[in-house]
Amino acid sequence: MPTPRFLCDEMLQRLGRWLRAAGYDTAIATPGDEDRALVEQARDEGRWLVTRDRHLARFRNGDGRIVLLEANDTPALAAELSTRFRIDWLSAPFSRCLDCNTPLRPATAEQWQQVPESALARSTVARYCPTCDKVFWEGSHVRRMRHTLEHFQRGEWIIAGD
Ligand SMILES: [Zn+2]
């Protein structure tokens, strides 16, 4: 199976960010997007539309590829999606921008200058999002997220630090 690409509806933004954190190409709907537009976006971009909305899932018999989830919280939704797609939560951690999904680039020497002194000692990796024009480094937040991805990978559906 080729690596799946996703489009999370606006109710599943947090799940979408975890998928991005794992390295999956994941679009997240903008609030107010029409159902039909989402189905068309999923089709045009070759994505699975992930939703908890049964009304949206009525398009299932159309041309859209729709995954209807039923779980209520983010870890349980991640578990449910994993049963459908065998998600590799450590496939390429933090290789995509969590905010916009763009593949990150290694930070240049100049971009490293933006990493604060206090973070330098513990950060061995810094990455740059050309879309957001922002530099990201492995601070405590990223380390906590990495622990959560490791939990998910082991089938432990808890979010570290919550
Ligand atoms: Zn970005």
d(CA 106, CA 43) in angstroms, rounded, equals: 31
For 12-53, the pLDDT digits (tens) are 999 999 999 999 999 999 988 888 899 999 999 999 999 999
- The model's pLDDT over 98-145, given as tens digits with 9 standing for 90+, comes to 999 999 999 999 999 999 888 888 888 899 999 999 999 988 889 899
Query: What separation in Å is there between the alpha carbon of 62 and the centre of ligand 1?
Result: 32
Q: Which pair of structure tokens corresponds to residue 120?
A: 């330098």
C-alpha–C-alpha distance, residues 52 and 110, integer Å = 43
Q: Which residues contact 51 (CB under 8 A, 6 or more apart)?
A: 8, 9, 11, 12, 57, 66, 67, 68, 69
Band of pLDDT at residue 162, cut at 50, 70 and 90? low
- Residues 96/78, Cβ–Cβ less than 8 Å: no
Three-state SS string over the chain comes to: CCCCCEEECHHHHHHHHHHHHHCCCEEECCCCCCHHHHHHHHHHHCCEEEECCHHHHHHHHCCCCEEECCCCCHHHHHHHHHHHHCCCCCCCCCCECCCCCCECEECCHHHHCCCCHHHHCCCCCEEEECCCCEEEECCHHHHHHHHHHHHHHCCCCCCCCC
Measure 97 CA to ligand 1 centroid, in angstroms. Answer: 5
Q: From ligand 1's centre to the CA of 130, what distance in Å?
A: 7
pLDDT in tens, 133-142: 999 998 888 9
Instruction: For 6-85, give the CATH class.
Output: alpha beta
What does the pLDDT look like over 146-157, one tens digit per residue? 999 999 999 999
Label residue 79 left, alpha or beta by phi (over 0 means left) and psi (-120 to 50 means alpha): alpha
Distance 46 CA to ligand 1 centre (A): 21
Q: If you measure from the C-alpha of residue 18 to the centroid of ligand 1, how many angstroms do you get, rounded to a whole number?
A: 15
Q: State pTM to two decimals.
A: 0.93
Domain range summary for the chain, segments of one domain joined by +: 6-85
Tell me the CA–centroid distance for residue 101 and ligand 1, in Å: 6
